[in-house]
Structure 1
Amino acid sequence: MLDSGDSPPLRPRHPQVVALVVVLALEFVALVGITVFLVFELLVAAPESYASAIALTVVVALAALWLGAIVVGAWRGGSWTRGASIVVQVLLVSVALGSFQGFLPRPDIGWILLLPAIAVFVLLFRSPVRAHLRPPLGDDEA
């Protein structure tokens, strides 16, 4: 059990850091909701291909788990979360752009995906967020 001397000091988080974590958390909640919907659909509807339906459900569930880890890492100030967040947002932008065009375009879904991705991109390059996600200095760099 940790005593008060072993716990890391609490540091106040800048509002932009909180905004980043909130947007990432909302994306996580949406992805969990999509996973639950896909599992429900898999159980009540007969898909054209069970293999494809199961594979899609597993991939979305893994993406939700990964995004959940990114949210926790961003809150804790993990330096790895910046690159991981950029990758997730690039994937969201690509799906959003695909939603604006194609055989059955859905611009409403495109905007729902695009706007949070842009917000995360902007926040990731703000000074307070960069400082929060900066790797800790080692003994040789101090």
Structure 2
Amino acid sequence: MIGVDTNVLVRYLAQDDEAQSPVASKIIDGFTPDAPGFISQVALVETVWVLTRSYKMTRDAVADTIETLLRARELVVEGAESGYLALASYRATKADFSDALIAHGGRLAGCRETVTFDKGAASAAGMRLLGAD
């Protein structure tokens, strides 16, 4: 299995670099269900960030892209179950994908709750807000 870094994944998805996009495509298009590529949760979160911030993609477009990656039989996504749950939260609420992934990953790991100082993460991703005493 070959791991794919964020920059390779973004070059593949965006097809916006004359030199790097074809190289990324050759690698990713070469993956098969029997010899899949690997995407870490960190690369998935970074990809959402880059597509949102640098490429100004809408939440719906980003969500569709992440769903395609999660469903691809040619890719293994680390923690795919929490990825799907985070994607559902990302689609249904105003939660950042990363916050939703943190909250759902904690639940799947057996945490009774995830705590945060981030008001947005608490309200949108279902974390418990801590006060700064």
Same fold (TM over 0.5): no
Higher relative contact order (CA 8 A, sep 6+): 1
Higher strand share: 2
**TM-score (normalizing by structure 1):** 0.29
Q: What TM-score, normalized to structure 2? A: 0.31
